[in-house]
Structure formats: C-alpha cells, structure tokens
Structure 1
C-alpha cells in the first residue's frame, strides 16, 4: 500500500513506518508543522518518501492516516479526491474532560484509533466506532548501565507544559535523587526551578544519543500528570531502567509492580527514587523486569500486525 501520513509525532511515526509499505510524507517549502518531510533525527527507512504538497495530486494513495482535525481538509485540497482514511488520536482530552467530545465524534466514515485504552475511555466519541492500537516501540536494546546514581527524565518543553508534564514536581524529586532532564527546550529549567547542583539539562539530543545517555542514569522518573502514554517511558523500560511514575493515565497499565513504583503519592515516589539511586543491584533487577514487560506488551511486531489488519480493511473499502 501507499500511505499518506504527516510527520507529527516523531517517535510514533518511526515505529509506524517500519511496516512493509510505501509511506508518503508531505513537504512544504518552510518544513513547517504541515510539511516537515522526513525526520532528521529518527531512523526512517528508505520507504518513507517526501512529496511536495502541491504534487500529491499526481501520487497514488491507498490510505490517509490523519492525526489532527485540519488534516482532513488538507488531504481533500492536496489530493483533489476522496481517499479512505483512519484517524489516530495520540492525546488525552483537554478541558472539561468527562464531557470532552472528540472532533470525529459520531462519524462512521473514518475509523478512530486511540493509542491507549485510557484515551478510548476518556474521550467522548459518541456513536463513532473506535479501535485501540497500543504503542509499538523499536527496541533500543538492553543498554542500561546505571553507573550514575541519578534519575533521568525525558520531557519536551517542560516550562510550557508545566503542570501537565509534572515540571512543578521536579524540585521535590530532586531532593531524593539528582535529576538529569532530556528533551526539547529544557535549558531554561535551572533558572526556572533554581536547582543548581541537582539538575543537569540536555537540549534535544538525537534519539540514539539520548538513549545512551539515559541508560547511564540509575532510574527513570516519569512525572507526567496528564499525557496519553509517553513513549519515552516505554523506551526507558526497554533500555532496562527501573521506573518511578505517577499513577496517572495509562502508566498504571504499562508499568507492572515488578518493573518499578507507580503511585499518586509524591512522598512514596521520592522514597522509591532514593532507594533505587542507593541500590544499583535492586535497580538493575527491577530494570530487567521492566524491559521484559515492555517487550511483551509494546513490541514492534504486534504493533505493525495490528496496523496491517486495520489498514487492509480500510483500503479494501475503496475497491
């Protein structure tokens, strides 16, 4: 199949394009949000091809994968014809959560795919039929060393996403174990939080380099209050890191008891950080269990198989 998909979520797309298809990613002159083209810091195969948005009318497309509401209009304009599609919802609902209506609520012409069961539960999709295809992650390998008695955190734009990402909780956690924060736009954290000596910041490392750096930290901290399910959490588990996470959204499903500590109690999480930082043997043992759990539930083969089945069904509607 030839699949049109926007480069919106780099980590998710990296897994998605590992299938046995041709993937067309729109390209605009400014490489803006609607036309980033191929990723520059993720390992994408040659089957992913940039196509200038004004040339998409000349391309054969079997299925469109939407990830934002306005992409439905873009596809209609850029393709100039109707093509079967699916809509992937990456995010938790915002606003008045129990009543938040999904943009595709009550539609039955475009399958709505949630990446977690939590999302499927909390979005009001009306009568629209929904599917859940859980994440699949490329295995970075069991590269954990844990040589540094520090906690690693991965978050993009932690200042803008303040309470959502749990950034406001970092000062408390930093008293239990020194923190190193990886991700985009993290350089301002030292000045914002005043954690000199406790916080090391690293600006937007390429994924492979980030995994290598993260693996040297003894424990992974996932302080998010409200996110679908951070792929960085799954990646940290696959690396072989023990996990300390807020018991919110899908984290309670993703992290079994043997893989780390999950709680809504910040003091409990602080004690867990302190314990893992002080006990490398316990951390390594827990990390092995975390890796096994992540591979079993979030392996790439299952993810691609689930998508193959659904995309085949959707594409067949046009035949």
Structure 2
C-alpha cells in the first residue's frame, strides 16, 4: 500500500513507518512544516520516500493520513483529489484538546468520509467528534532495548518548549523537583528554562536537540524519569523511558495512570509525594532498578511495535477497500 503522510511528529512516525508499506513523505525546498521530508534525527527505513508536490501529482496513493487541517488542503492541491472522497483518508489526532470542556470540538467532527484515530483513550474521551467514526490506536514503540544503568543519581525530564508551554508542561513545578534531585532536561527549547533555574540556584542542566539514539543513551544513565506534565497527550518519551528500563515518577493526569502500572514507579497528583518518590529512587538504586524492570515489562506488553503496526494495518486495509 502507498500511504501519504506528512512528517509532523517524528517519534510517532518512526514507529508508523516500520510497517510493510511505502510511505510517501512530502518535501518542500525549505523543509518547513508543509514538507519536512525524511527525519534527520530519527532512523527511518528505506520504505519512506520523499516526494515533492509536483511528484505527488503523478503518484498512485492508496490512503492519505491527515494530521492537521492544512494537510487536507495540501493533499487536495498536490494530488488533485479530495481526501475522503476521491482518495481514502484517515485523520490522525495526536493531541489532547485545549480549552473549556464544552468547547472541545474536533475539526473533523461529523465527517462521514473518513475515520478519525486518537492515540489515547483519554483524548477520545475529551474530544467532541460528533458523528465521525472515531477509533483509538494506542502508541507503539520501536524497542531501543534495555539500556538502563542509572549511574547518575539525577532525574531526567523530556519536554519541548517549556517556557512557552508553562503550566501545561509543569515548568512551574521544576524548582520543587530540583530540590529532590539534580535535573537533566532534554528537548527542544530547554536551554532558557535550565539557565533561568540554574541562575536561581537550582541544579538543572539542559540537553537540547539530541538525535534519538543519543537521547536514549543519556536517559538510560539517569536514575529516574520524571514526568511533571499536567495536560498533554501521552508522551512518547515517557514510553521510551519505560522501554529503556527507567523507573517513572509522574503526575496522575491524562493517560498516565493507564500507562504506568503499580510497581513501575509512582503516579500521583500530590507534589510532596512526587518529589519524595524522586528523592527516594535517587538514593535507592536497587529499588530504582527493580521498578525500571517492571516499567519495561509493562511497556513491552502494552506499547509494543508489533501490536501497533497490526492495528494500523487492519485500519488502513479497511479504509482503502
């Protein structure tokens, strides 16, 4: 099957393109949001091929995977066909909705010509999709292997743009967390946050824009993975940390209580318990190792790559019929 999909979410797409299809990824000259092309910091197989808008006009596409409202218009212009009508389409929604509960209407609500896919059951619960056929296909992870050493008694956090996103990503909670253990913050746009907190006397270090293989290696050296995020979709970095064998300390929000079982760490909305769990794991390496092993076992069972690809294969075949 030939699947048209934009490079929007690198970590998620890395799992998706490990299926048995040809994945057509738009590319534009500046590699901007409308056409980033192949990933530069993730390892993608050769079945992912770049196509310019001009080349797409000549392509035989079996299914279009939409992820943003603008993707639909781009597909219509570049393919010369309307997604959902002239070519089968799936709308993949990565995000949890933002705003008032009564106003969380999805852009693809009440569509009869496509299937809407959520990545978590929490997202499906909160988005209002009207009469659109909505499904849930939970995340899958390309297993990085059990790499945990926990040699550094630090807490690792992965977050993008913590200054801009503020309370959404729990940026305001970092000073309290830094009182429990040195913090290593990984992700895009983390230098400003780390510099600000370090200037205030907190033990915080930034690690920005690492390629995925280096990120995994560095995460595995930290004693514990902390997830102080209040409201986003389930972070793939959290699931990757579980696969690596890190114990998890996380807020009990969105899909986290479903993803992190008892014995794999601590899930709580009490900040005192959150920080105490981080402190304890940093001081008890054997407990951290045990909980990390439980986290890895749980992640492999629920978020394995095979189940994820099987779920998507069934849906793509159904939609393309």
Aligned counterpart in structure 1 of residue 170 of structure 2, from 145, 151, 166: 166
Q: Who is 1:209 aligned against?
A: 214
C-alpha distance in 2 between matches for 1:162 and 1:54: 40
- 1:227 counterpart SS class: coil
Instruction: State the shift of 1:192 in Å.
Output: 2.5
Q: Tell me, what secondary structure is at the counterpart of 1:19?
A: coil
- Would the alpha carbon gap of residues 189 and 307 (structure 1) be closer, same or farther in structure 2, given more than 3 Å must change? same
The 5 A counterparts of 1:1-319 are 1-81=1-81, 82-193=86-197, 194-196=199-201, 198-316=203-321
How far apart are 1:200 and its partner, in Å? 1.0
Query: Alignment partner of 1:188: what SS?
Result: helix
| CA distance in structure 2 between the aligned counterparts of 1:98 and 1:292, rounded to whole angstroms | 38
- Kindly tell me the number of residue pairs found equivalent between the two proteins: 316
CA contact (8 A) 1:145 1:217 kept: yes
The change in CA–CA distance for 1:173 and 1:2 in structure 2 (over 3 A counts) is: same
Which is further off, 160-169 or 143-152?
A: 160-169
Moved over 4 A (4+): none
Q: Which runs of 5+ in 1 are unaligned?
A: none
Q: Structure 1 stretch 194-203 or stretch 129-138: which is displaced more?
A: 194-203
Q: d(CA) in 1 for partners of 2:152 and 2:231?
A: 29
Q: What are the superposed Cα offsets for residues 102-124 of structure 1, whole Å, 9 maximum, x if unpaired?
A: 01111121100000000000001
What secondary structure, in the 3-state scheme, does the structure 1 residue paired with 2:155 have?
strand
**What residue ranges of structure 2 are gaps of 5+ in the alignment?**
none
| Partner Cα separation in structure 1 for residue 294 and residue 112 of structure 2 | 41
CA deviation string 1:51-105 (max 9, x = no partner) = 0112211111000000001111110110002211100000001111343100111
- Relative distance call for 1:17 and 1:195 in structure 2 (3 A) is farther
For structure 1, which segment, 63-72 or 183-192, has the greater mean C-alpha deviation from structure 2 after superposition?
183-192
1:243-277 Cα distance to aligned partner (Å, 9 max, x none): 00010000010000111100111111011001000
Aligned partners of 1:177 and 1:277 also within 8 Å: yes
SS at match of 1:38: coil
Q: Tell me the distance in 1 between the aligned counterparts of 2:153 and 2:102.
A: 41
Distance 2:114 2:150 in 1: 45
SS at match of 2:185: strand
SS at 1:60 equivalent: coil
Give the CA deviation at 1:284: 0.1
Q: C-alpha displacement at 1:178, in angstroms? A: 0.8
CA separation of 1:195 and 1:231: change in aligned 2, threshold 3 A: farther
Q: Distance in 2 between matches of 1:133 and 1:190?
A: 35
Structure 2 distance, partners of 1:206, 1:143, is 16
Secondary structure at 2:281 match in 1: helix
Shift of 1:207: 0.6
